[in-house]
C-alpha cells in the first residue's frame, strides 16, 4: 500500500509538471481501443517469464503441477513494486508451502531471473543506443558488470573460497550449509546452456513490453507530432527500465518515469504527450502486474485455503 501511495504521488507530480488540463486533453485524444493490445504485450512478457520459471524449476528438479506453479508465479507479482523486484522471493515461500522445497534451493531462481533480465535489457538497449547516441557508456558498464558477476558465480572454487572465509564469522557460520546449498542452485542455473537459452527468452519477453511502448507512441502519432521508430522506442523503454532497476527504488518508481519522459522530451515530443505516454505504459506494465498479483493472491488463498500473511 505504501508503494501504491508512492506511485500515485509520482503520477501526481508528473501530472502537475505536464499541466493537468493539457494532460487530460492528451488522454482524451488517446485511442483506448489499443489498450487491450498493449496489455496483451505485457501479458506476453509475463507468460514467457513463467516459462523461464518452469525451466528453472526443472533444472533444480523441483516438482509441482503447472497450474499450481502458475498460481505461485503470478502471486509474486504483488511484490513487483520492490527494489529490483527482489520481493518476488515470495515465490520461494509459496513454493515451500506447496512442495516443501527449502528457500536455500529455490530463492537463487530470483537472482538468476534478475541477472538474465539485466543482460537481455542491455542487449535490447545497445542497438538503440547507437542510433539514439545516448547512454551507451552506462549500458556497456552495466552489461560488463553483470557478465563479470556471472563469470565469478560460475567459478566454483573461487566462490567456495569466499564462502569459506565468510563462514569464519559466527552469524554466517550458522547458515553456512544453506549458503552452500544456495550457491549450488545458483551454479546450476547460470551454466552456459541455460544462461544463453534464458537470456534469449528474456530478450523476447522484454521486447514485448518495448513493443507495447511503441504502440502507445504510435497511437499518439495520429493526434500529435510523434515520430518514434521501434528501435528508438525499444531503447527508451529498455534504458529507462535499466535506470529504474539500478536506482533500486520500489518498482523503479520516479526514476523510470523521469527517464521515459526525459528521453521523449529529447525527441521534441510535447510535454503533455510525453507524460501521458509514460503514465499509460507504466500502468500497462508495472501496475498491471501488481493487479494480476493481487488477483492471483486471492485465488491462491481461496484455492489452497491458506492466508499468505500467516506463512512463516
Domain boundaries, the chain: 32-306
CA dist 74 and 43 (Å) reads 11
- Output the average pLDDT for the chain: 87
Whether the predicted pLDDT of 132 surpasses 80: no
pLDDT tens readout for residues 153-212? 988 888 888 888 888 877 777 878 888 899 999 999 999 999 999 999 999 999 999 999
Q: How far is CA 27 from CA 35, 125, 219, in A?
A: 12, 28, 11
- The DSSP code for 283 is I
β-strand partners of 250: 83
Q: How far is CA 159 from CA 103, 163, 165, 192, in A?
A: 20, 6, 10, 17
For residues 228-237, one letter each, b for 16 or more C-beta atoms within 10 angstroms of the residue's C-beta and e for the rest, the string is: bebbbbbbbb
- The DSSP code for 81 is S
Prediction pTM value = 0.89
CA dist 68 and 91 (Å) reads 11
Whether the predicted pLDDT of 84 surpasses 70: no
The winner for highest mean pLDDT among 5-9, 71-75, 262-266 is: 71-75
Amino acid at each position: 500500500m505504501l508503494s501504491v501511495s508512492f506511485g500515485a504521488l509520482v503520477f501526481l507530480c508528473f501530472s502537475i509538471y505536464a499541466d493537468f488540463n493539457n494532460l487530460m486533453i492528451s488522454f482524451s485524444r488517446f485511442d483506448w481501443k489499443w489498450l487491450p493490445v498493449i496489455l496483451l504485450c505485457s501479458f506476453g512478457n509475463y507468460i514467457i517469464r513463467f516459462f523461464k520459471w518452469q525451466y528453472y524449476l526443472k533444472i533444480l528438479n523441483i516438482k509441482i503441477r503447472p497450474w499450481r506453479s502458475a498460481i505461485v508465479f503470478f502471486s509474486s507479482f504483488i511484490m513487483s513494486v520492490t527494489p529490483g523486484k527482489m520481493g518476488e522471493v515470495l515465490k520461494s515461500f509459496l513454493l515451500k508451502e506447496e512442495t516443501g522445497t527449502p528457500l536455500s534451493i529455490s530463492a537463487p531462481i530470483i537472482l538468476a531471473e534478475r541477472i538474465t533480465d539485466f543482460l537481455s535489457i542491455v542487449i535490447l538497449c545497445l542497438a538503440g543506443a547507437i542510433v539514439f547516441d545516448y547512454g551507451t557508456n552506462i549500458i556497456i558498464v552495466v552489461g560488463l558488470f553483470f557478465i563479470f558477476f556471472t563469470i565469478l558465480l560460475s567459478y566454483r572454487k573461487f566462490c567456495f573460497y569466499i564462502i569459506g572465509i565468510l563462514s569464519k564469522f559466527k552469524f554466517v557460520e550458522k547458515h553456512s550449509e544453506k549458503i552452500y546449498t544456495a550457491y549450488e542452485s545458483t551454479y546450476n542455473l547460470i551454466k552456459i546452456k541455460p544462461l544463453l537459452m534464458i537470456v534469449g527468452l528474456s530478450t523476447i519477453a522484454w521486447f514485448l513490453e518495448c513493443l507495447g511502448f511503441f504502440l502507445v507512441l504510435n497511437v499518439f502519432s495520429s493526434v500529435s507530432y510523434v515520430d518514434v521508430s521501434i528501435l528508438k522506442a525499444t531503447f527508451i523503454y529498455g534504458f529507462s527500465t535499466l535506470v529504474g532497476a539500478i536506482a533500486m527504488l520500489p518498482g523503479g518508481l520516479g526514476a523510470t518515469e523521469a527517464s521515459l519522459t526525459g528521453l521523449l522530451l529529447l525527441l521534441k515530443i510535447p510535454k503533455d504527450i510525453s507524460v501521458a505516454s509514460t503514465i499509460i505504459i507504466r500502468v500497462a506494465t508495472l501496475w498491471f502486474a501488481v493487479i494480476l498479483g493481487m488477483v492471483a493472491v486471492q485465488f491462491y488463498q481461496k484455492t489452497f485455503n491458506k492466508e499468505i500473511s500467516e506463512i512463516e
